């Protein structure tokens, strides 16, 4: 099927590489009868703007331009990769970014301005940080009041939801699904499964929808990093329904095979246990790739655990989508002191 995409601005370095993870496969998959592991390097979409959010922003920024917006308002955690990528992409596009974040950092508390948040400031974004409770209770009002603030001053703001995940943002991963199919054809593999970390659902929604539209015979599974399976099945369906409605598409969302594993969230969003830090260390030491403790480290750890349990026995190839997140590693520095990847 030929997919017709809406307007897009080119920001990411595409296609990203598809690479085998043979040293990890050898030690952590083959001994359990598991598949060959591959990684789709979406951590390489860019350097500063790295990660999965940039693919969504290509469509979001095109939409902002088409609708005469000069400002992007978005939201997330204090260490949001999405907020950081939005701040930088907006700067490059000549737009202003306003980030509504939940957390504890303040301007007078410079020690906390680390990782993604540091980059938000460098990129010239306006940053408003709210306590967790207020953020959860008042997010729609915060969007509305900041939109009104810009409007009163003669500007026009596009409201971008958490993670850029809605019917607009998921175009980025519909397109990524098409790219990945071409990568797999070139590598002469037909992966039974594609795995990604799921946080706001848009990456999984785009990949699942893209695979469906293209008739790909592969199962996309999101490894949840915050909410449970029921939440994400619903969220992915909603993003697809929004896409369907906005673009007048004729597909039945109930035909999508939405798979979520919610067994590896650990203590909670943004909080990891030791096993995740160890997995991050082993990926760095065996493959030279950097995973992060919030998303990719948890998801990849979950994948290795499931392989150990035999969940992917009989599969030949699995692709893990590396969605980025490196800047989020540094604020977790205190947890790596005693971590060793491998038994000496």
Ligand X SMILES: *Cc1c(COP(=O)(O)O)cnc(C)c1O
Total interface residues for ligand X by CB under 6 A: 20
Stretch that binds ligand X, among 131-139, 260-268, 276-284, 322-330 (CB under 6 A): 322-330
Q: How far apart are CA 123 and CA 107, in angstroms?
A: 16
The least distance separating ligand X from the CB of residue 264, rounded to whole angstroms, comes to 13
Q: Does 147 bind ligand X (CB under 6 A)?
A: no
Q: Does 42 bind ligand X (CB under 6 A)?
A: no
- For 66-133, the DSSP string reads HTT--EEEEEEETT-HHHHHHHHHHHHHT-EEEEEEESS--TT-GGG--HHHHHHHHTT-EEEEE-HH
> What are the tokens at 246?
């906005």
The least distance separating ligand X from the CB of residue 309, rounded to whole angstroms, comes to 23
In 3D space, the residue among 198, 209, 197, 204 whose CA is nearest the CA of residue 254 turns out to be 209
Q: Does 165 bind ligand X (CB under 6 A)?
A: yes
Q: Does 11 bind ligand X (CB under 6 A)?
A: no
**Which residues, at least 6 apart from 40, have a Cβ–Cβ distance to it below 8 Å?**
16, 17, 18, 176, 180, 183, 194, 319, 320, 321, 322
Q: Kindly tell me which of 64 and 197 has the beta carbon lying closer to ligand X.
A: 197
- Which of 46, 114, 242, 292 is the binder for ligand X (CB under 6 A)? 292
Q: Kindly tell me which of 101 and 197 has the beta carbon lying closer to ligand X.
A: 197
Q: How far apart are CA 220 and CA 211, in angstroms?
A: 8
> What are the tokens at 75?
């939201």
Stretch that binds ligand X, among 106-114, 197-205, 245-253, 278-286 (CB under 6 A): 197-205
Measured in Å, how far apart are the chain's first and last C-alpha atoms? Answer: 51
Q: Does 221 bind ligand X (CB under 6 A)?
A: no
Q: Is 80 an annotated catalytic residue?
A: yes
Q: Does 84 bind ligand X (CB under 6 A)?
A: no
29, 50, 80, 165: the active-site residue: 80
Q: Kindly tell me which of 116 and 218 has the beta carbon lying closer to ligand X.
A: 116
* Residue at shortest CB range from ligand X: 325
- Which of 103, 202, 270, 297 is the binder for ligand X (CB under 6 A)? 202
Q: How far apart are CA 152 and CA 27, in angstroms?
A: 60
- Which of 45, 86, 198, 261 is the binder for ligand X (CB under 6 A)? 198
The least distance separating ligand X from the CB of residue 38, rounded to whole angstroms, comes to 17
- Which of 191, 201, 210, 331 is the binder for ligand X (CB under 6 A)? 201
Which string of x and - marks every residue 47-66 that binds ligand X (by CB under 6 A)?
Answer: ----xx--------------
248: DSSP letter: T
Q: Does 324 bind ligand X (CB under 6 A)?
A: yes
83, HSE (Cβ side, Cα atoms, 13 Å): 30
Give the neighbor-by-neighbor strand order of the sheet with 317-322: 18-20, 36-41, 317-322, 193-198, 219-224, 259-261
- Which of 44, 99, 127, 197 is the binder for ligand X (CB under 6 A)? 197
**Which residues, at least 6 apart from 163, have a Cβ–Cβ distance to it below 8 Å?**
53, 56, 76, 82, 169, 199, 200, 201, 202
Stretch that binds ligand X, among 9-17, 29-37, 278-286, 319-327 (CB under 6 A): 319-327
Q: How far apart are CA 121 and CA 118, in angstroms?
A: 5
Q: Kindly tell me which of 183 and 239 has the beta carbon lying closer to ligand X.
A: 239
284, HSE (Cβ side, Cα atoms, 13 Å): 17
By the criterion CB under 6 A, which residues form the site for ligand X?
A: 51-52, 81-82, 163, 165, 197-204, 292, 295-296, 323-325
Catalytic residues: 80
């Amino acid at each position: 099927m030929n997919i017709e995409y809406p307007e897009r601005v080119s920001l990411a370095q595409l296609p990203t590489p598809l690479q085998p993870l043979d040293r990890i496969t050898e030690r952590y998959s083959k001994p359990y009868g598991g598949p060959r592991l591959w990684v789709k390097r979406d951590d390489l979409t860019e350097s500063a703007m790295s990660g999965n959010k940039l693919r969504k922003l290509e469509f979001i920024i095109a939409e902002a331009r088409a609708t005469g917006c000069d400002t992007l308002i978005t939201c997330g955690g204090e260490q949001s990769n999405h907020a950081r990528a939005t701040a930088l992409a907006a700067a490059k596009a000549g737009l202003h970014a306003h980030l509504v974040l939940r957390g504890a950092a303040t301007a007078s508390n410079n020690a906390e301005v680390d990782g993604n948040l540091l980059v938000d400031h460098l990129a010239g974004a306006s940053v408003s940080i709210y306590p967790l409770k207020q953020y959860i209770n008042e997010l729609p009002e915060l969007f509305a009041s900041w939109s009104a603030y810009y409007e009163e001053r003669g500007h026009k703001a596009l409201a971008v939801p958490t993670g850029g995940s809605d019917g607009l943002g998921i175009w980025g991963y519909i397109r990524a699904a098409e790219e990945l199919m071409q990568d797999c054809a070139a590598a002469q593999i037909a992966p039974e499964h594609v795995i990604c970390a799921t946080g706001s659902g848009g990456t999984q929604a785009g990949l699942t929808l893209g695979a469906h539209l293209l008739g790909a015979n592969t199962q996309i599974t999101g490894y949840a990093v915050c909410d449970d399976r029921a939440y994400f099945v619903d969220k992915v369906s909603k993003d697809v329904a929004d896409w369907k409605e906005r673009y007048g598409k004729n597909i039945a969302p109930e035909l999508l095979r939405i798979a979520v594993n919610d067994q590896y969230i650990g203590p909670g969003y943004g909080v990891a246990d030791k096993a995740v830090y160890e997995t991050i260390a082993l990926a760095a030491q065996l493959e030279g790739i950097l995973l992060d403790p919030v998303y990719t480290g948890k998801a990849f750890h979950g994948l290795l655990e499931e392989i150990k349990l035999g969940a992917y026995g009989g599969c030949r190839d699995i692709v893990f989508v590396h969605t980025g997140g490196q800047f989020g590693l540094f604020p977790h520095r205190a947890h790596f002191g005693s971590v060793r990847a491998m038994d000496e």
